[in-house]
Structure 1
Amino acid sequence: MVAIKFVARFQSVEMLRVLLILVALWLHCNHADQMEEFLKKEFSLMKPYAGLSSRSSNWDILGNTVLTTQSLRLTPEKQSKLGAVWNRVPCNVKDWELQVHFKIHGEAKTFMNGDGMAIWYTKDRMKKGPVFGSKDMFVGLGVFLDTYPNEDKQDELLSKRFTPRTERVFPYISAMINNGSLSYDHDNDGRPSELAGCSASIRNVKHDTFLVIRYVKSRLTIMMDIEGKNEWKDCVDVAGVRLPQGFYFGVSALTGDLSDIHELISLKFYELTVERTRTLKEVEEPEENVEVTEPSVDNWTPPGKKVKPEPLDGLTVFLVAFFTLMTITGIAVAGILLCEKWEKRKESKRHFY
């Protein structure tokens, strides 16, 4: 009887312990990495755009940009136009989110329009160039809204709306991290240096189109709301992205032989406060506390770029040399034995005849 009571009590204690563990796990999952967001007006741009480009403003406009009551029209529907808007304040926020309200439209038929627009977080600002209106070989992050497939030159491929090798449907949104050593490849729509991307119907839609870029704990996430459903859909999600602080935000657009109207309606920048739960590995190797001085992505190499092999240590060199020598010796001994066996067989045949 005593034994039965003891077992029953033991089982109840174990059940209580399991229940407490489950509750602790639930609390951890619901409270770990919780975020709060705070709108930062110095990095935001919203209607009525009061005092834009004045001395008291945090923003400068560039090129063919025209301020209207409803938007900043970066380019008109004319060929060879360029426009941009750049923030004057370097961003020293560690974790952030940028919500972009934009509109791309025009009278031209599909694939008779171009070229697209870009959202930037870069070391340099107010630099005209061929990459959607801004400079090539930039340092930082570029998010490209590409509306024309340059790689598709044939009518058959244009009618299918995808590139022959990767079947990327256009318009196409992509991200690129650059330390100043990579050039954006227009002929291949930036594919050689693309970090990640997705197809998105963002041109000539009747409802509002939004893009959100989030950078939290060295993770770059890009989502879009382009269907008028007030729902974010994933586009890019890459961990191990290292972006320095102190860079500038900007938006640019470009037309070439083809044209479109590219409009920026608003930018809303949020500072995110993240509750960082640290694992044992993170405590032993606190990478997040190391200052980032150059944009990079962990374990990623642009296609076509050769990676230099790491030099072998002394022990590895010794083992490779040892086993190579043993292999050569074994092959030589086997060859000698085969030769001797062959000679003996020949001798035996001579004696037989």
Structure 2
Amino acid sequence: MGKRFFSTLLMGVALFCALTVVNAEGDEEVHPLRTHSIYMPYIDQDLQNRWFDFGGDAIINTNRHIRLTQDVPSQTGYLWSRLPISAGNIQVEFEFKVSGKGDGLVGDGFAVWLTKERGEMGPVFGNRDNFEGLGIFFDTYANARQT
């Protein structure tokens, strides 16, 4: 597996990425990848993160969460790693919450990306529409089914 960038679109995020190694006895050992894990307060004194870029409509609440978009239409936010993952085997854990003030969800959803190229803004859950890699989509919009 070649180097891949880990690109994410998450609501209220706690992200942890780890290298999983199987030792000689067959036991799994998990080693956190510091460069691909993000925890509170999410940013440093310069309002940046050493390992991740965020932008679009994303808001960082240093004591609570990363909010990719607010509860209004036509917003796109992102959180993308700056470095490729060079580990051969990885385990990814994240927490998310999708919520709003209204009775229903107004957004399309969000996605977690493992792609060969670094993320670029686009029409597919915030990323470009032609990519090489894996996209995991959390679609919250009730599209009408065609018959």
Output the TM-score relative to the length of structure 1: 0.32
Aligned to 2:91: 97
**Pair 1:86-2:80 in alignment:** yes
Distance 1:34 1:149, change over 3 A: farther
Aligned residue number for residue 118 of structure 2: 125
Question: Corresponding residue for 1:72?
Answer: 66
Is 1:50 the counterpart of 2:39? The answer is: no
Cα distance in 2 for partners of 1:32, 1:149 equals 48
Is 2:106 the partner of 1:113?
A: yes
The root-mean-square deviation of aligned C-alpha atoms, in Å, is 2.2
Partner of 1:214: none
State the AA in 2 paired with 1:63: G
Residues 183-332 of structure 1 aligned to structure 2 (within 5 Å): none
Name the structure 2 match of 1:140: 133
1:174-189 counterparts in 2 under 5 A? Answer: none
Aligned to 1:332: none
Q: Which has the larger radius of gyration?
A: 1
| Percent sequence identity over aligned pairs | 33
Counterpart-to-counterpart distance in 1, 2:141 and 2:110: 11
What is the aligned residue count?
122
Contact 1:53/1:59 (<8 A) preserved = no
Deviation digits for residues 56-85 of structure 1 (CA, Å, limit 9, x no counterpart)? 711111201111021111000111000001
What are structure 2's unaligned runs of at least 5 residues? 1-23
Query: 2 CA distance for matches of 1:32 and 1:120?
Result: 33
- Structure 1 stretches lacking a partner, 5+ long: 1-30, 154-163, 165-353
In the aligned structure 1, how far is the partner of 2:37 from the partner of 2:54?
A: 14
Q: Which has the higher contact order (CA 8 A, sep 6+)?
A: 2
Could you give the per-residue CA deviations for residues 209-233 of structure 1, whole angstroms, max 9, x where no partner exists?
Answer: xxxxxxxxxxxxxxxxxxxxxxxxx
What TM-score does the superposition give when structure 2 sets the normalisation length? 0.74
Q: Report the alpha carbon displacement of residue 32 of structure 1 after superposing the two structures with TM.
A: 7.3
CA change 1:32–1:116 in 2 (3 A) is: farther
Match of 2:86, as an amino acid?
N
| CA distance, structure 2, for counterparts of residue 124 and residue 141 of structure 1 | 11
Counting strand residues as a fraction of each chain, which structure ranks higher? Answer: 2
Q: Decide which structure has greater helix share.
A: 1
1:53/1:35 Cα in 2 relative to 1: closer, same or farther (>3 Å)? Answer: farther
